[in-house]
């Protein structure tokens, strides 16, 4: 019975922690990671400050855990489905899933990592380093996919994977920023057309 009770307590604690971090990840795209606090989350989730503090202990730990939750959501929404493909198909899937998750407001403030990067770009430390690492991995997925596409003959032999990665991500970032600013889905559609055109030219 003691073991069962311990497992139930641990399970309840894990569910509470997940509820907190889901709220924190969404809130961070609107108010910033710097705006996260035990008090703010207590108000958002209806939990006690003491209960929240017991889960994290410091603001930095809360921020890092929030980034971890955002990574998990991004994996489920974007990376997992997209990385089933390879080469040019992977590039297309990554773009499609990214724009879809922005359009569906998975995070109310647009892409979590674009928001965090803009906030933290001049703030060195563990939190910024975690965001930079995630973005570096994201860029790496595109570079690898474009390199594979070139090796397969899906894009021109002289195509530069780094340059194509830069251009495609610039389009994704612009669509994300304008959609968040204006709430107009035509920016998502414009990005889809621009990326399709660029990939078509790369394959010519």
Q: Please tell me the pTM assigned to this model.
A: 0.91
Looking at residue 27, its pLDDT comes to 95
Looking at residue 142, its pLDDT comes to 98
Number of domain units in the chain: 1
Is 167 part of a structural domain of the chain? Answer: yes
Is 154 part of a structural domain of the chain? Answer: yes
Determine contact, residues 67/131, Cβ cutoff 8 Å: yes
Is 3 part of a structural domain of the chain? Answer: no
Is 32 part of a structural domain of the chain? Answer: no
Looking at residue 8, its pLDDT comes to 54
Looking at residue 4, its pLDDT comes to 54
Is 198 part of a structural domain of the chain? Answer: yes
Looking at residue 1, its pLDDT comes to 58
**Domain hosting residue 198, numbered range:** 59-203
Looking at residue 49, its pLDDT comes to 81
Q: Read off the CATH number of the domain in which 190 is found.
A: 1.10.357.10
Is 54 part of a structural domain of the chain? Answer: no
Instruction: Return the H-helix or E-strand segment holding 115.
Output: helix 112-120
Determine contact, residues 146/165, Cβ cutoff 8 Å: yes
Taking the chain (204 residues) in consecutive chunks of 10 residues, what is each chunk's mean pLDDT? 54 82 95 89 83 82 96 98 97 98 97 97 97 98 98 97 98 98 98 98 89
Looking at residue 16, its pLDDT comes to 84
Which residues, 6 or more positions from 142, have their beta carbon under 8 angstroms from its beta carbon?
91, 94, 161, 164, 165, 168, 169
Is 2 part of a structural domain of the chain? Answer: no
Is 1 part of a structural domain of the chain? Answer: no
Contacts 24+ apart (CB under 8 A), 178-187: 179/102, 179/103, 179/110, 180/102, 180/109, 180/110, 185/103
Please tell me the number of Cα atoms within 13 Å of 57 on its side-chain side.
2
Looking at residue 57, its pLDDT comes to 80
């Amino acid at each position: 019975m003691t073991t069962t009770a311990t497992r139930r307590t641990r399970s309840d604690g894990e569910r509470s922690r997940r509820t907190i971090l889901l709220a924190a990840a969404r809130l961070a795209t609107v108010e910033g990671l710097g705006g996260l606090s035990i008090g703010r989350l207590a108000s958002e989730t209806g939990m006690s400050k003491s209960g929240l503090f017991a889960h994290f202990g410091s603001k930095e730990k809360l921020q890092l855990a929030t980034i971890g939750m955002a990574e998990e959501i991004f994996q489920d929404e974007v990376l997992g489905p997209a990385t089933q493909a390879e080469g040019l198909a992977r590039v297309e899937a990554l773009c499609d899933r990214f724009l879809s998750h922005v359009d569906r407001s998975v995070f109310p403030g647009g892409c979590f990592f674009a928001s965090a990067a803009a906030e933290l770009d001049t703030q060195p430390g563990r939190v910024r380093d975690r965001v930079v690492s995630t973005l570096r991995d994201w860029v790496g997925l595109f570079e690898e996919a474009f390199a594979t596409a070139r090796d397969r003959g899906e894009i021109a032999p002289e195509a530069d994977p780094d340059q194509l990665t830069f251009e495609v991500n610039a389009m994704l970032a612009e669509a994300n920023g304008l959609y968040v600013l204006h709430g107009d889905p035509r920016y998502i559609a414009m990005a889809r057309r621009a990326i399709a055109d660029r990939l078509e030219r790369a394959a010519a």
